[in-house]
Amino acid sequence: MRWLFVLAGLCLLVMLMLPETEGRSQPLNQDGEKLRGRRRRTGKGHSVSKAESSRPLNTRLLPGPNIPLNGGKNAGNPLFLQSYKSLPEQHSSYTIPGKQGQCVYKGLTMFDQAMWSPKPCVTCRCTGGRAVCDEISCPIMHCHFPFTPPGDCCPVCMEPVSDLSGDSPVPNDPGDTMTTLTQEEIQRILWHEEEEEEHLRRKERERKRRRKQRKEKAEEQRRLVEERRRQEEEALKVQEEKEEEEKRRRLMEEEEEMRRKQEEERRRKEVVEREAREQERKQEEERRRQEEKLREQLRALEEEEDGEEDEEEWLRGDVFQMSPHEPKEPDLLPAPIPRPPTQIDQERGEEEVQESRRVGLPPGCDVTDVTMTCDNAKLNYFPPLAMQELKSLSLEGNNISSIPAEAFNGIPNLEWINLGKNKLTSARISAKAFRSLRFLGRLYLDGNLLETIPLNLPPTLQELKINENKLRVIDQKSFTDLGSLVTLELEGNLLSEGTVDPLAFSHLRQLSYLRLGQNHFRTVPQGLPNTLLELYLENNLIEEISDAVFNQTTNLNVVSLRHNRLDETRIAPLAWINHRNLESIDLSHNELYLVPSYLPRPLVHLVLVGNHIERIPGYVFAHMDPGLEYLYLSYNRLDGEGVEPESFFGSYQSMVELCLDHNQLVNVPSGINEMNSLHFLRLNNNRIRNIPEDGLCDPHHDGDSTLVALRLENNFINPEKISPKAFSCVRSSSSVVLKPQRTK
């Protein structure tokens, strides 16, 4: 609304300045020029020229007292400034001749005393046939918020404008007199205003230029910072890739070394077992020679034992050391034959006794340069030892119940400790007991009474065994600082998925071998490390294998889940089918009725002994690459309809060992004659009555014989009715076992 008042005041002022009679024009200055004083708005809506603002207050250009107000005697007539009447009549520079008091302007006829505005800021009036026009010039506004109202020519200030001399704002006093300005003063005011406008424009351009320079400089700095950060990230990424590659290489070397050690240990055990069997065989032969009356019975027993030995030798591909029956305690080795001690033995025994007495140990301890063995020595406490060179210590089978903080101070260079089968409890093992052992690599605590993992175990530890204890809880801090641990065995405890923290194994960055059998797990525990290669969960309560349970263990190679409660419907389709390294799975002694589908593509060993399997679905092995090599289906319920023609599709070129014994088969399953790589086949203890010529061997196959051993005993086969061509693919006839057979 304020701009409306300003516009009204401006129009009123223009009307007051127009001449009243014909021929009266604007007053001229002393140089004969028209007076066109530029005015500016004050804060109250009145106009005042720039030159007037610098003069004394009594000489400013303000409306005089001679201006009639609205409502006077001549209120209906146009208003004029009375001061113009005393001046001689002057002609405007914008005069247009007219006829009979009318004016013609640009083809338009205007009546006498008519007013119009041909263009903005120009006002014309028809007087006595002449058109008198006046152009309004706007002053430069010295205020923070200039504003030009719509329809007006000049801007106004949105706030009061102070006097140029620094005095208070110009008041709107109608008592002030109006003073005319000369053309020179007006020109000087205009020049001054133009200079100020140019100065303001220059300042604005300079401000924009500086702002643009600052913006460009900031953009350049940002670009440089981004480039430097990108280079640093690339360098860091390259460094991380190098470190990851080096770590992976070290891990592969360590895994290879561990595998080599395991292979050597396995071979050593095989040698020991072979020697034990040889010793047992010799003793059995000696016993048979002494018992002539039982010669025939002993011969039958000998054949049966030979068959069992052959069976053990046949199953070469079973990485789980499969037994067809329930697991039982290993056979004890035969007692060595006593022999009289030699002089060297007597001297050695005296040295051992002296050494034992020297270190303060009871009799029965064996001491060498770097090894001490005190197994089953009836020790009730941890013995004080002071042997800096000692590296191996075995105290198995004693009654030790506590380990004090200073127990290993005298033997700080130990690398292997065996404290199995004692009476150790978690509360009586000092938290500082193992802190001084800087080289300890293996620690055995089997067969004790531990309820938690001992604290502050050495970071150099690579093998930890705490089987057959009372462990109930494994929290996030149980394996802190054990980043070098490779083998962990926790079988025979009281653990379950609810008492094992999902982050418990997060510190084990090199763990490859984990045994959690004989616990109370109903599902596979979460948080297993990515480095894990072998996982053993036998004799638990596992009922389900979900999709995500093996997502993190991408390097897993062997999984044993025997003696659980799994059936084929509780194994998720995506549980392990996409694993690229999983080659061996043991699902023996579960509740399977079918051979599970969606098995891992790289699977090589599959053990399904002791289930309720009634059928092998067609194409169940077809997706495997390079193909299944070892399949054990002994002690199941396969019958004549349980094996389809396509059951073994996908394994014809890869199958090496196939065990189908102790089932209910009435015929030789189809597809066996197409297995070109089959070495060992067991079909004993079934209901087979006939062996066709093409049942086991392909009569059109011209290559070398591949079948090394064939077991067919305890069926209903009549050997006299078997065609000689039925065993054409067997390397030796002595490798075929047909006797004994059942009659009915």
Position 172 scores a pLDDT of 45
Q: Which residue has the tokens 């319920």?
A: 637
Position 177 scores a pLDDT of 47
114: left (phi over 0), alpha (psi -120 to 50) or beta: beta
* DSSP output for 224-281: HHHHHHHHHHHHHHHHHHHHHHHHHHHHHHHHHHHHHHHHHHHHHHHHHHHHHHHHHH
Two tokens at 178? 């109006």
Two tokens at 250? 């070290």
Which is more confident, 368 or 453?
453
458, 431 Cβ separation under 8 angstroms: no
* Cβ neighbours of 593 (radius 10 Å): 14
Cβ within 8 Å of residue 241, ≥6 positions away: none
Q: Where are the domains of the chain?
A: 2-197, 245-282, 365-470
Segment 356-365 mean pLDDT: 60
Two tokens at 199? 């100065």
650, 624 Cβ separation under 8 angstroms: yes
Determine the residue type at 689: R
Give the least confident one: 198-202, 275-279, 321-325, 416-420.
321-325
**Spacing of C-alpha 400 from chain mean position:** 46
Q: How confident is the model at residue 175 (pLDDT cuts 50, 70, 90)?
A: very low
Torsion angle of the four alpha carbons 685, 688, 690, 696, in this order, in degrees rounded to the nearest 10: -70
**Span between the terminal Cα atoms of the chain, in Å:** 121
Segment 275-296 mean pLDDT: 68
Q: Which residues of 451-473 are buried (b: 16+ CB within 10 A; e: fewer)?
A: ebbbbebbeebbbbbbbbbebeb
Q: How confident is the model at residue 715 (pLDDT cuts 50, 70, 90)?
A: very high
Residue pLDDT, tens place only, 505-548: 999 999 999 999 999 999 999 999 999 999 999 999 999 999 88
588, 322 Cβ separation under 8 angstroms: yes
- Distance separating alpha carbons of residues 84 and 80, to the nearest angstrom: 8
Q: Which residues of 512-542 are buried (b: 16+ CB within 10 A; e: fewer)?
A: bbbbbbbbebebbbbebbebbbbbbbbbbeb
- Asked whether residue 55 carries a pLDDT value surpassing 60, the answer given is no
Q: In the CATH scheme, what architecture does the domain 365-470 have?
A: Alpha-Beta Horseshoe (3.80)
- Asked whether residue 111 carries a pLDDT value surpassing 90, the answer given is no
Segment 306-313 mean pLDDT: 49
Position 231 scores a pLDDT of 92
Segment 416-433 mean pLDDT: 94
Which is more confident, 289 or 93?
289
Position 418 scores a pLDDT of 95
Q: How confident is the model at residue 107 (pLDDT cuts 50, 70, 90)?
A: confident
Which is more confident, 591 or 113?
591
Cβ within 8 Å of residue 385, ≥6 positions away: 359, 372, 393, 410, 411
Give the least confident one: 442-446, 493-497, 601-605, 720-724.
720-724
Two tokens at 86? 């005393």
Position 334 scores a pLDDT of 34
Which is more confident, 645 or 119?
645
- Distance separating alpha carbons of residues 84 and 71, to the nearest angstrom: 22
Which is more confident, 630 or 743?
630
3-state SS record for 578-618: CCCCCCEEECCCCCCCECCCCCCCCCCEEECCCCCCCEECC
Which is more confident, 228 or 369?
228
Which is more confident, 153 or 291?
153
- Asked whether residue 449 carries a pLDDT value surpassing 60, the answer given is yes
- Distance separating alpha carbons of residues 644 and 672, to the nearest angstrom: 11
Segment 114-119 mean pLDDT: 81
- Asked whether residue 61 carries a pLDDT value surpassing 70, the answer given is no
**Average pLDDT of every residue of the chain:** 78
Closest CA to 434 of 399, 404, 464, 462: 404
Decide: helix, strand or coil at residue 207: helix
- Distance separating alpha carbons of residues 579 and 576, to the nearest angstrom: 5
Segment 243-261 mean pLDDT: 88
Containing 190, the helix (H) or strand (E) segment is: helix 183-290
Residue pLDDT, tens place only, 475-488: 998 998 899 999 99
Q: How confident is the model at residue 157 (pLDDT cuts 50, 70, 90)?
A: confident
Position 367 scores a pLDDT of 87
**Percent of the chain clearing pLDDT 90 (strictly above):** 42
**Percent of the chain clearing pLDDT 70 (strictly above):** 72
Give the least confident one: 5-14, 28-37, 426-435.
28-37
Name, of 193-197, 202-206, 271-275, 724-728, the range with top average pLDDT.
202-206
Residue pLDDT, tens place only, 683-711: 999 999 999 988 888 877 776 778 899 99
The Cα angle at residue 699 between residues 696 and 703, in degrees rounded to 5: 95
- Asked whether residue 362 carries a pLDDT value surpassing 50, the answer given is yes
- In degrees and rounded to multiples of 5, residue 415 shows phi and psi of -115, -20
The Cα angle at residue 568 between residues 566 and 571, in degrees rounded to 5: 75
Q: How confident is the model at residue 369 (pLDDT cuts 50, 70, 90)?
A: confident
Residue pLDDT, tens place only, 31-41: 433 334 333 33
- Distance separating alpha carbons of residues 503 and 23, to the nearest angstrom: 107
- Distance separating alpha carbons of residues 176 and 645, to the nearest angstrom: 124
Segment 468-474 mean pLDDT: 95
Sign of the dihedral through C-alpha 455, 456, 459, 465: negative
- Asked whether residue 617 carries a pLDDT value surpassing 80, the answer given is yes
- Asked whether residue 413 carries a pLDDT value surpassing 80, the answer given is yes
- Asked whether residue 264 carries a pLDDT value surpassing 90, the answer given is no
Sheet strands (E) in 491-560: 513-515, 534-536, 558-560
- Asked whether residue 144 carries a pLDDT value surpassing 80, the answer given is no
Name, of 115-124, 142-151, 365-374, 466-475, the range with top average pLDDT.
466-475
Residue 737 forms beta bridges with which residues?
711
Position 116 scores a pLDDT of 81
